[in-house]
Structure 1
Amino acid sequence: MTTTRKLFMSFTGLFLCFFLLIHFLGNTQLFLSPDEAQEKFNWYSNFLTGNAFIKIVSYVLYLSILLHAIYAWIITVKNKKSGGTYKKDSRDRASKWSSRNMGFLGLIILLFLVLHFQNFWYVYKFGSIGLDPWGNKDLYTVVVTAFQQGWLVAIYVVAMIALAYHLAHGISSGIRTLGLFNPKFVKWIQYFGIAYAILICVGFALMPVYIFFTSK
């Protein structure tokens, strides 16, 4: 049963990593000039919500987040009760702070996701949003307005730091759990995980910072 939980954690975690990349690439439109960003970002958002295939993928995403969080909580509780698996392993990779605090990092990310969904997903789906000049829901203005608040920008940056640590350990751990781990490429997989985590999280963190300093 423990192996099954770890497999679920790995499958859902790696799927969420892939989603993060797609989400990041789509959101890079926020770095465009205001008028161009508004047009393209709103079109992109409208496309995502109106496409049947994307809707199915979004349900898989929601389920993956839920399962990943539930199994992470179960594994963390069981590790605490058993005294913690990392305490019995003196190897450097097992003693890294990120690997020993995946539960804590995951909790920060989960709380951030609740805030993120409330700020944008919920508002887009159920809130009253005006239309842009091209007839699409103006999510861009919602994003810009939100990131004009310094405290919210700070929360996003802190959350991205937590996510970077979570990803750096989680990617190599997930690949190893799925049996896709060749001892010859241990370092390369670890380097890939770190590089991916830095690229994605720095990119996401720069978006609210960029908007905060350029939309005043």
Structure 2
Amino acid sequence: MGNFSNTFSSSLGKKLVMSLTGLFMCSFLVVHLVGNLQLFKHDGGLAFNTYAYFMTHFPPIKVVSYLLYTSIVLHAIYALVLTMKNKKARPIGYAVTNGKANSPWTSRNMGILGTVLLVFIIIHMNTFWAKYHWGGVPYKKYVIELQNPEHVQVTDLPISSVEPVHTDAVDLQSGSRVVIAKDLYLIVQNAFESPLYVAFYVLAMAALSFHLIHGFRSAFQTLGWDHKKYIPLIRFIGVWGFGLLIPIVFAAMPLFFLFKTFS
């Protein structure tokens, strides 16, 4: 037990924790992105609200969510500790040759990028997750024709002291499927009508891009999974997948709603 504790309290141990939690959060980003793509559907928020209910009520997903929250906290704490330790060990800073630092810009500014992302996560969780659970979110009723699933009738339900529960049932008499769901889609739509919030969101996605470009490959290096045979693939996935594609698609969501507001 002592050796285990000593391992994870060392600099290498902290880097291992950061690598594992970072890769775990990368996998969650992919799942979160797939779910959030439902925002682009023209169904009044049916697909997205159904996804939101599943993500907050399916037991295995709830367990993964708590692991994610723990990972975020550990990743942030260990990053802060390592940054402070590195500053003490290198008070003068990185050497500069011919006007250029010896390390990449992303490597030298991971602390700043991480801080921007941590602030973003806190605001993001308060805007959507906390409001979804405790903010008195209104409900919507969806009536989907079984013969023509593309035809969806949407009705706003008033907020009452006793909120309706999520239901999803088939009415054979009317030949339709009836869904009543919390309208998180409306909360998202309202949030992304603010140019200031959208600008902050896009800035955070830019920080995420730079953070992932450096962090993804560094995690594999720390874990020893950087065999020269796989380095090109890791670099490709890190740069083009996590560094560019995922942040760009995430940034497209608030811009999509903002442009709809002004169109």
TM-score under structure 1 length normalisation: 0.93
Structure 1's 75 and 85: CA in aligned 2 closer, same or farther, altered over 3 A?
A: farther
Judging changes above 3 Å, is the alpha-carbon distance between structure 1 residues 27 and 7 closer, same or farther for their aligned structure 2 residues?
same
Task: Report the AA paired with residue 198 of structure 2.
Answer: V
Match of 1:120 among 128, 146, 159: 128
Closer/same/farther in 2, CA of residues 45 and 93 from structure 1, 3 Å limit:
farther
Q: How many residues align?
A: 213
Q: Runs of 5+ in structure 2 lacking a partner? A: 1-9, 142-178
Aligned with residue 9 of structure 1, among 2, 18, 22: 18
Gaps of 5+ in 1: none
Cα pair 2:94 2:101 within 8 Å, conserved: no
Which has the larger share of strand?
A: 2
User: Which of 43, 47, 57 does residue 40 from structure 1 map onto?
Assistant: 47
AA matched with 2:114: G
CA-to-partner distance for each residue in 1:3-44, whole Å, 9 max, x for gaps? 1100000000000000001000110111111xx151010011
Q: 1:165 aligns with which of 210, 228, 241?
A: 210
Match of 1:199 among 235, 245, 257: 245
Greater fraction of residues in helix: 1
CA shift for structure 1 position 215: 3.8
- Counterpart Cα distance in 2 of 1:2 and 1:89: 25
Shift of 1:86: 7.9
Runs of 4+ in 1 over 6 A off after TM superposition: none
SS in 2 for 1:95: coil
Give identity over the alignment, percent.
Answer: 43
Cα separation, 2, equivalents of 1:48 and 1:171: 25
Alignment map for 1:84-123 (pairs within 5 Å): 87=94, 95-123=103-131
Q: Which amino acid aligns with 1:45?
A: A
RMSD: 2.0
Relative to structure 1, is the Cα distance of residues 41 and 14 closer, same or farther in structure 2, using a 3 angstrom cutoff?
A: same
| 1:79/1:85 contact within 8 Å kept | no
- Tell whether the 8 Å contact from 2:116 to 2:204 is kept in structure 1 after alignment: yes
- Say if 2:106 and 2:210, in contact at 8 Å, map to a contact too: yes
- In structure 2, distance between residues paired with 1:106 and 1:84: 21
CA distance in structure 2 between the partners assigned to 1:2 and 1:88 by the alignment: 22
How far 1:161 moved relative to its partner?
A: 0.2
TM-score (normalised: structure 2): 0.77
- The answer (yes or no) to whether the contact 1:160–1:204 under 8 Å persists in 2 is yes
Asked if structure 1 preserves the Cα contact closer than 8 Å seen for 2:139 and 2:181, the reply is yes
Deviation at 1:188, TM superposition (A): 3.3
Taking the aligned partners of 1:153 and 1:179, their CA distance within structure 2 comes to: 38
Task: Determine which structure has greater relative contact order: mean sequence separation of CA pairs < 8 Å that are 6+ residues apart, divided by chain length.
Answer: 1
Structure 1 residue 143, shift from structure 2 partner = 0.2
**CA offset at residue 187 of structure 1?**
3.5
